[in-house]
Amino acid sequence: MEQPVSNIRYSQTGYFNQLVIDFLADHPHLRPFYKYSSLSPDFEAAIKAKKSHPQHRGVLVAALQEQYQGLQITDHVKNNIHSLGEANTFTVTTAHQPNIFTGYLYFVYKILQAIKLAGQLQDKYPQYKFVPVYYMGSEDADLEELGHVYIGGKNINWATSQQGAVGRMQPEGFAELFTTIESALGYGPHAAELMAMMKKAYLEHENIQEATLYLVNELFGRYGLVVLVPDSPALKRLYIPVMRDELLHQHSHKIVNETLTKLSQHYKVQANPREINLFYLTPTARERIVQIGDTWKVLHMPVEFTRETLEKELQEHPERFSPNVILRGLFQETILPNIAFIGGGGEIAYWLELQDLFTHYQVPFPVLLLRNSFLMADLPSLARLEKLGLDMADLFRDVESLVNEYVQKHTNAALVLKDEYTAVEKLFDELSLKAEDIDITLVKSVESERAKAIKSIGKLEHKFLRAEKRKFAWQTDQIRVLKQRLFPGNSLQERKENFMPWYIQQGPAFFDLILEHLEPVTDQFGIIYTD
């Protein structure tokens, strides 16, 4: 049976900021900050631009083969890695940090969108090869963001005292986490196989980035997805010219700030550049590098360099230098033959700051696409909404406004005291005229009493509505329950929930279902109904 689906425009959801809405509309305020249209991108032009840019494909393939060593991989993945060595192969990339257990639902959506777009481009341009890539942001040090997962209404946190890049952290204490997760998930026909996969990932691998590589390969390898871990000496070596220029001349600070001056006229800035947009990376730390006079210091560490020792360190250990958000995208596009990048609203916002930086370093700017968003809605919830005379799109609204409107629509009582407000205003208009004739100073007293009267009617109106809500308690409770169930914490489901509750019920078919309804280039938020 085909799953029912509906859509709502991003602009109508109320959950996306103006920058995202304007990006999807190619608004003139925003359009100068990215190269290709958001809804009708010229992929052929992006391919042409990338073809003219020098690639280090042999280094990339060797790095990938080293990363995948010891893993069982599908022929599809193996062939895709091999094809990256060929001049007519290009990538479609999405990036995300190695959140434990994949973190949020949208992690899955981003990866599947890259897979779907690569397939569509393959059909459209058969003379080329397109490979979907998950670029792992394993050098992120924000454990507060990466170290928890939300399941069954509960935040499950990984308690660890480790510091530095999360990807390099050891997965200690995960055995206890699995007990909590299995309890929160409950039974599902695919629960045992998923838990076995998760346990092998986190209990049998040395660090979080290796665990995530294993897990993502197990989940998406059948689609040919290639996982790239950029924490690699060989790949960082390709980026030495940019990192050296950053350390010695700090061009990115000036270039990006000039862009921000223009962009901030209409939009809130997503990421501000520092004077040096590189961190120093060790097994247990990731700290900022700052220049003080003729010395380069690593904050919070007893490490400093002269120009000579800095250049020596960069040449001998490029893996110890880690780009922040300002330089990360440029690194990605330097090491990959990439033509399209799929990101969330926050990612799109900071990519819009970078076009002039790409131009400065003569690196082609990719097609930017907003990641797909979905609401996974169960059919029983849909049935309850229909019984209430509502549809799923109504739940995107503020729940109390929705409840009030529902009661006002279905009650026989006059809850909006519009006539009463009019009558009071008329009465006080007459009193004001009389006061003016008697003593002009009395007008102020009349207006003060008018304000009190209007306020009193407002209070009565609120009490009338509250009393009437009690008559509709079952219906209004149902609306609130449905809102909390599908929009946990009044957040979009995809920004809170994890994929596991759906996967234990449907298994790999869950990904196939999403893939079927994905439209890689769209301005529509999808609602998929499941049993």
Contact call for residues 482 and 168 (beta carbons, < 8 A): no
Non-local CB neighbours of 8 within 8 Å, separated by 6+ positions: 393, 396, 524, 525, 527
**Distance between CA atoms of residues 173 and 143, nearest Å:** 15
| pLDDT value for 417 | 54
Report the candidate in 132, 134, 130, 80 with the shortest Cα–Cα distance to residue 107. 134
**Distance between CA atoms of residues 515 and 436, nearest Å:** 72
Report the candidate in 525, 414, 526 with the shortest Cα–Cα distance to residue 465. 414
**Distance between CA atoms of residues 391 and 374, nearest Å:** 16
- The 3-state DSSP class for residue 339 equals strand
Structure tokens given for 120: 């569509």
**Distance between CA atoms of residues 337 and 343, nearest Å:** 17
Cα→Cα distances 210→138, 166, 419, Å: 10, 11, 69
| pLDDT value for 428 | 83
Cβ neighbours, 10 Å, residue 350: 18
Q: Which residues of the chain have pLDDT under 70?
A: 1-3, 410-421, 457-458, 460-461, 464-471
| pLDDT value for 419 | 67
What is the strand order of the sheet 374-378 is part of?
A: 5-9, 524-530, 374-378
pLDDT tens digits, 50-95: 999 999 999 999 999 999 999 999 999 999 999 999 999 999 999 9
